Amino acid sequence: MRSRENFTDERVSVSAEALCVEGTGVLKALAPGLQPTWSDLTTLMIRVSDNVATNLIIDRLGMEAIQGWIDTAGLADTRIERRMMDREAMAAGRGNWTSAADMETMLSAIVAGTCVSGGASREMRRVLEAQQIQDRLARRLGEGVRVANKTGNFADVINDSGIVNWADQTLVLVVLTQSVRASWQTMDTIADITAVLTHVCGGSG
């Protein structure tokens, strides 16, 4: 049986076919044949919402296995029913769903070191801390406040969820929105919510 370390360090060839995905990411702008590790793909999936990386990971693990872990973790509102930007699946009514409660549960488990395992939780937090999109939760926070987060955009959906940390304090915050007319107003609101809550909890937001 292949160990977790060997699996994450294993290299995968990114074919031209795999690069044909709409939406965000950097892999589709690169030449076919690149050979990142599965750990690299995970980082790209979180750090820049790379849809090519996400689909490769979904294909490697299998949607049934991913949903099985979700169910075992007790995330009752979360479902994965399609690959990223699969228009045919979307037209058939299949979607990917979650809730603020489920995201809070998972992020709190990462903080506690109980999401899969202590080592896995630390790795998840490391990748979340590398997030490049910082126009929501982190936007109006003061010096010394750190954020480990994952944003989300699709059609009229604008989200951000993460772990806000300062001194010896930790705040898990999830803001999911839909059908707000102006995206910039939504991002402003998420930034305002984070700054106010961090300030109330004793941070410098």
Does residue 3 carry a pLDDT above 80?
A: no
Domain residue extents for the chain: 1-70, 127-205
Q: What is the mean pLDDT of residues 20-38?
A: 93
Provide mean pLDDT across the span 165-183.
Answer: 92
What's the whole-number mean pLDDT along residues 29-53? 95
Query: Contact 123/184 with Cβ under 8 angstroms?
Result: no
Contacts of 163 (CB under 8 A, 6+ apart): 107, 110, 111, 125, 128, 147, 148, 149, 170, 171, 172
Q: How confident is the model at residue 1 (pLDDT cuts 50, 70, 90)?
A: very low
pLDDT, average across residues 134-150: 94
pLDDT tens-digit profile of 70-124?
999 999 999 999 999 999 999 999 999 999 999 999 999 999 999 999 999 999 9
Q: Which of 22-26, 103-107, 155-159 has the highest mean pLDDT?
A: 103-107
Q: For residue 2, name the pLDDT band (cuts at 50, 70, 90).
A: very low
Instruction: Band the pLDDT of 6: cuts 50, 70, 90.
Output: low
Q: Which single residue is written with the structure tokens 């490391």?
A: 126
C-alpha 103/C-alpha 82 separation (Å) is: 19
Beta 157-166 vs 169-178: how paired, if at all?
antiparallel
102: nearest Cα among 79, 134, 129, 126: 79
